[in-house]
Amino acid sequence: MLKFLLSRIAQAVPVLLVVVTATFFIVHAAPGGPFSADKAVPPEVIEALEAQYKLDQPVWRQYISYLGDILSGDFGPSFKYPGRSVNELIMAGIPITAELAFYAMLVALGIGILSGVGAAMRPNTLQDYAPMTLAMIGICMPSFLLGPLLVLVFGIELEMVPVSGWGDIPGDKILPSITLGTGYAAYIARLSRGGMLEILSQDFIRTARAKGLSESTVIIKHALKGGLIPVIAFLGPAFAGLLAGSFVVETIFQIPGIGRFYVQAAFNRDYTLILGMTIFLSTLIIIFNLISDLISIWLNPKLRDEISNG
């Protein structure tokens, strides 16, 4: 197991290096310098700025020094927010985005598992078709459409919940969390239905039922652990998706999280901020994929044996 863990970490390192290198050179291949948008800046000012951001050195030297910087956890200064470092901006945004992603995940897991397991208990009945059709709608309804529609109905027409902000007014966290979570609830419902159906058809479940255990004990004690493996394997990719989804949801609801910073950085052409955030988010995603892989292996005895035997 330890060997497997180490080999997976060893695989992640070159991927990260590719991310850093590709991002760095893409950003440096940008037509026009980062300061070219600013009108009528005296050349000596540009020179001073370029010296400050090390842009006067050859690209490969910039690359080496950037690698050194990020290894020590320093993403450098922001181009467009003078006096603020990329680290500061990431640290300001990350708690908010993490909280949003956490609530969205609660929404997704709660609704998804309940309806998926419920559907698998009575396949091909209304209890199956109704949530699965809803799940299809949830998958096809993009967050950038669902969010505004929720705002329109519950925020503007019914005036039940606030329509923007994060933690300013009570209840303003409800709509963003639902908007971000719904699509994943739909996927999780489909995955848990599939996983549960497979488990429920196996012999040990028949045995459990034959000993006279109640259906709820069979489901909770015996079937859930195996039936939810596909859901756990999905959590890593889902996390990546939540981060991307936070770009949209934070823009719609004006939440000062990391997703909104990223989109703004993209519009401002704030190259150091984009570079730093891309590397930071990629690292996070790779780590989460690794964790969800490890958990699903740990839960699945077949895979676990394969790995410890060879």
What span, in angstroms and rounded, lies between the C-alpha atoms of 82 and 48?
Answer: 14
Residue 262 binding other proteins, by CB under 8 A: yes
Chain centre to alpha carbon of residue 18: 20
Q: How far is CA 292 from CA 104, 164, 236, in A?
A: 17, 32, 5
Contact 268, 80 (CB under 8 A): yes
Q: Return the range that interacts with other proteins (CB under 8 A); candidates 52-60, 96-104, 208-216, 242-250.
A: 242-250
Q: How far is CA 23 from CA 53, 63, 274, 275, 279, in A?
A: 17, 11, 9, 6, 8
Site for other proteins in 155-174 (CB under 8 A): 156
Best CA proximity match to 1, nearest among 302, 294, 300:
294
Site for other proteins in 180-199 (CB under 8 A): 190-191, 193-195
User: φ and ψ at 106, to 5 degrees?
Assistant: -60, -45
Contact 166, 251 (CB under 8 A): no
Contact pattern from residue 32 through residue 61 relative to other proteins, giving x for each residue in contact according to CB under 8 A and a dash for the rest = ------------------------------
Residue 9 binding other proteins, by CB under 8 A: no
Place of tokens 């069979």: 218
What span, in angstroms and rounded, lies between the C-alpha atoms of 211 and 48?
Answer: 80
Which CB atom, from 138 or from 208, has the smaller least distance to other proteins?
138
Structural tokens at position 112: 């998804």
Residue 13 binding other proteins, by CB under 8 A: no
Helices marked H in the chain: 2-28, 43-52, 59-71, 86-121, 126-140, 143-150, 174-200, 203-210, 215-217, 224-227, 229-252, 258-268, 271-299, 301-309
What span, in angstroms and rounded, lies between the C-alpha atoms of 35 and 228?
Answer: 51
Q: Return the range that interacts with other proteins (CB under 8 A); candidates 47-55, 71-79, 146-154, 169-177.
A: 146-154
* Residue of 36, 202, 266, 305 that binds other proteins (CB under 8 A): 266
Residue 130 binding other proteins, by CB under 8 A: no
* Residue of 49, 98, 134, 139 that binds other proteins (CB under 8 A): 139
Which CB atom, from 109 or from 208, has the smaller least distance to other proteins?
109
Residue 123 binding other proteins, by CB under 8 A: no
Q: Return the range that interacts with other proteins (CB under 8 A); candidates 60-68, 80-88, 244-252, 296-304.
A: 244-252
Residue 230 binding other proteins, by CB under 8 A: yes
Site size toward other proteins, by CB under 8 A: 52
What is the contact surface with other proteins in residues (CB under 8 A)? Answer: 11-12, 14-15, 18-19, 22-23, 26-27, 29-31, 136-137, 139-142, 144-145, 148-149, 151-152, 156, 190-191, 193-195, 230, 240, 243-244, 247-248, 251-252, 262-263, 266-267, 269, 274, 277-278, 281-282, 285-286, 289
